[in-house]
């Protein structure tokens, strides 16, 4: 939204009062507070309205690639540092197939990456998109490969070729799936933009330099392109870091308008690819395209993405409640823990591993881990007994209450408060299977 001063610049400053406000400045303030529409002043012309709209546009344009549940939104970012406010749309990861691959190869590759799924803190981590690269320069084989890719996945697709004639048939074939076209450069920008515009598709622009990219954006915008994503190169980590940072910074500070789009990097494969991808996750990348990636690289990378994109104001947490695991009964032990997601899911997984029936009482610690919550005074005996009472755990089981080992100090006070046997559990929940089996015997 423009500020009152920005609005004021566009008003006639005659203070005629026809808008219902005594002065133009008063009206400008109402506009900035979104209480009035600019149309209430009869003296603002269309050109001024257009300019105002531009200055009110979000600093980083947002749009989606793909359609439906699987679509991926990018852009909409508002801050340079995540302590200011959260980063909005997590970096999307794509892997590549090529038109030299047979239909079977494509289907096998898609199957392999579609099943590269990890469970962590109750969330599912996976890749997001497939890219199809033109290695033959032949429109027919590219179209054929595009069809087989499309049949094999409902993830969003990136169509990669710098030859408009190769891209066009495939883009037309898949247009209802809203693929991303990659990429326009200085020699093909006219054809690429007209294709993207005609089919209503998002378009990637490719240039290694900030000035070159800014010129390319101007060209593309003039020709009517709207949903753009910028690839400023990934030849080195320095290039990713500095180009992405400058592009994002000038856009957010509004010191330059032409680069206010999501950013992407094509990183290839191997160690360097993973390093650049990790950098892009932290430094403003909306999309990273790999040639290939392995499980042992993907899990840390996706964990990093999840970490960086959490809301700094709200730790991820679960509901305070009594959770039954493996059909507990009136003799099963009652374990308790905090409502920090990381803690809860770690403990829960270890209990499940033990195959022992357990009641797991989650105590609301405002999303803090065991020691953090204890140090913050949110995980005392009074909090634990209140939670146990509220959930009816004490009626549902006569089994022992078990504290996390790290807060062994709680056990005495708790025993007093509840009048029940309280045992001290292991420090690390990974020792729970052994501990729980011991309880039974």
Partner 1 sequence: MKVIHMAKVPMPKEKYSGAVGSMALGDGSVSLGGVKGMPFLSFEDPQKQRPLLAGEVVDDISDFPPIVLDQFGPSAEDPVSWALEWKSKGADIICLRLLSTDPERKDTPPKEAATIAKNVADATGLPLIVYGCGIADKDAAVMEAVGEALEGHRSILAFVEEDSYKRMASTAVAHKHAVLAFSNLDINLAKQMNILLTDFGVDRGDIVMDPLMAPLGMGLEYSYSVNERIMLAALSGDRMLQVPMVCDASQAWQVRDCSEEDVALGDAAERAAWWEFATALAALLSGADILIVRGTKAMSLIQEAISDMGGHV
User: Given the rule CB under 6 A, which residues bind ligand B12?
Assistant: 315, 335, 337-338, 340, 342-343, 346-347, 367-372, 374-376, 402, 404-406, 425-426, 428-429, 432
Q: What is the DSSP letter of 99?
A: T
Answer with the entry of partner 1, ligand SF4, ligand B12, none that 211 interacts with (C-beta below 5 to 8 A by kind).
Answer: partner 1
The stretches of 12-163 forming alpha helices (DSSP H) are 24-32, 46-56, 103-114, 139-152
Nearer to ligand SF4, 23 or 71 (CB): 23
Task: Please say whether the beta carbons of 322 and 360 come within 8 A.
Answer: yes
Nearer to ligand SF4, 16 or 331 (CB): 16
* Cα–Cα dist 21/152, whole Å: 61
Binding segment for partner 1 (CB under 8 A), chosen from 36-44, 164-172, 241-249, 382-390, is 241-249
Nearer to ligand B12, 52 or 360 (CB): 360
* Cα–Cα dist 21/30, whole Å: 9
Answer with the entry of ligand B12, partner 1, ligand SF4, none that 12 interacts with (C-beta below 5 to 8 A by kind).
Answer: ligand SF4
Phi, psi of 302 (to 5 degrees): -75, -30
CA nearest 99: which of 72, 129, 130, 62? 130
Least distance from partner 1 to the Cβ atom of residue 376, Å = 11
Tokens of 153: 């996945």
Answer with the entry of ligand B12, partner 1, ligand SF4, none that 272 interacts with (C-beta below 5 to 8 A by kind).
Answer: partner 1
Nearer to partner 1, 82 or 378 (CB): 82
Answer with the entry of ligand SF4, ligand B12, partner 1, none that 404 interacts with (C-beta below 5 to 8 A by kind).
Answer: ligand B12
Least distance from ligand SF4 to the Cβ atom of residue 25, Å = 8
Least distance from ligand B12 to the Cβ atom of residue 280, Å = 24
Task: Please say whether the beta carbons of 174 and 201 come within 8 A.
Answer: no
Half-sphere exposure of 427 (CA within 13 A, CB side): 2
Sign of CA dihedral 294, 300, 303, 309: negative
Using DSSP, how many helices (H) and how many strands (E) does the chain show?
A: 17, 17
Nearer to ligand B12, 286 or 369 (CB): 369
The answer to whether 214 contacts partner 1 (rule: CB under 8 A) is yes
Per the DSSP assignment, residues forming a β-bridge with 97 are: 132
CA distances from 317 to 121, 248, 334, 403 (A): 9, 31, 20, 20
x-or-dash string of contact with partner 1, 400-439, rule CB under 8 A: ------------------------------x---------
* Cα–Cα dist 425/432, whole Å: 8
The answer to whether 118 contacts partner 1 (rule: CB under 8 A) is yes
Q: Is the peptide bond before 183 cis (omega within 30 degrees of 0)?
A: yes
Helix (H) or strand (E) holding 292: none
First to last CA, the chain: 67
x-or-dash string of contact with partner 1, 24-63, rule CB under 8 A: ----------------------------------------
Least distance from partner 1 to the Cβ atom of residue 239, Å = 9
Answer with the entry of ligand SF4, partner 1, ligand B12, none that 299 interacts with (C-beta below 5 to 8 A by kind).
Answer: partner 1
CA 321 to chain CA centroid, Å, is 28
* Cα–Cα dist 173/412, whole Å: 70
The answer to whether 249 contacts partner 1 (rule: CB under 8 A) is yes
Interactions with partner 1, residue window 368-397 (CB under 8 A) = 369
Answer with the entry of partner 1, ligand SF4, ligand B12, none that 253 interacts with (C-beta below 5 to 8 A by kind).
Answer: partner 1
Answer with the entry of ligand B12, partner 1, ligand SF4, none that 230 interacts with (C-beta below 5 to 8 A by kind).
Answer: none
């Amino acid at each position: 939204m423009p500020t009152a001063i920005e609005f004021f610049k566009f008003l006639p400053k005659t203070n005629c009062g026809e808008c219902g406000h005594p002065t133009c400045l008063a009206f400008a303030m109402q506009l900035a507070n979104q209480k009035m529409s600019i149309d209430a002043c009869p003296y603002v012309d269309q050109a001024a309205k257009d300019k105002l709209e531009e200055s009110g546009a979000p600093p980083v344009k947002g749009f989606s690639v793909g359609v439906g549940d699987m679509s991926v939104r990018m852009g909409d970012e508002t801050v340079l540092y995540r302590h200011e406010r959260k980063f909005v749309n997590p970096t999307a990861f794509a892997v590549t197939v090529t038109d030299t691959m047979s239909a079977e190869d494509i289907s096998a590759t898609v199957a392999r990456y579609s099943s590269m799924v990890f469970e962590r803190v109750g969330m599912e981590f996976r890749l997001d998109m497939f890219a199809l690269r033109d290695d033959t320069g032949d429109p027919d084989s590219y179209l054929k490969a595009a069809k087989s890719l499309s049949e094999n996945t409902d993830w969003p697709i990136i169509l990669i070729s710098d030859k408009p004639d190769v891209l066009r048939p495939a883009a037309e074939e898949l247009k209802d799936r809203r693929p991303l076209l990659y990429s326009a450069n200085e020699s093909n920008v006219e054809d690429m933009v007209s294709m993207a515009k005609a089919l209503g598709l998002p378009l990637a622009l490719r240039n290694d330099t900030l000035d070159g990219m800014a010129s390319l954006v101007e060209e593309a915008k003039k020709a009517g392109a709207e949903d753009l994503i910028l690839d400023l190169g990934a030849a080195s980590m320095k290039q990713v870091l500095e180009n992405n940072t400058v592009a994002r910074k000038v856009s957010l500070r509004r010191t330059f308008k032409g680069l206010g789009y999501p950013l992407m990097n094509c990183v290839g494969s191997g160690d360097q690819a993973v390093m650049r991808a990790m950098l892009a996750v932290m430094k403003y990348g909306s999309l990273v395209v790999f040639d290939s990636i392995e499980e042992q690289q993907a899990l840390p990378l996706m964990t990093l993405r999840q970490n960086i994109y959490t809301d700094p104001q709200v730790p991820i947490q679960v509901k305070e409640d009594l959770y039954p695991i493996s059909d507990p009964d009136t003799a099963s032990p009652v374990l308790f823990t905090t409502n920090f997601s990381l803690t809860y899911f770690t403990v829960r997984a270890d209990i499940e591993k033990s195959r022992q029936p357990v009641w797991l009482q989650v105590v609301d610690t405002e999303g803090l881990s065991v020691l953090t919550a204890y140090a913050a005074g949110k995980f005392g005996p009074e909090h634990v007994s209140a939670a146990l009472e509220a959930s009816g755990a004490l009626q549902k089981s006569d089994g022992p209450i078990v504290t996390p080992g790290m807060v062994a100090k709680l056990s005495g006070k708790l025993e007093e408060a509840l009048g029940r046997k309280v045992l001290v559990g292991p420090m690390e929940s990974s020792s729970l299977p052994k501990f729980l089996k011991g309880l039974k015997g």
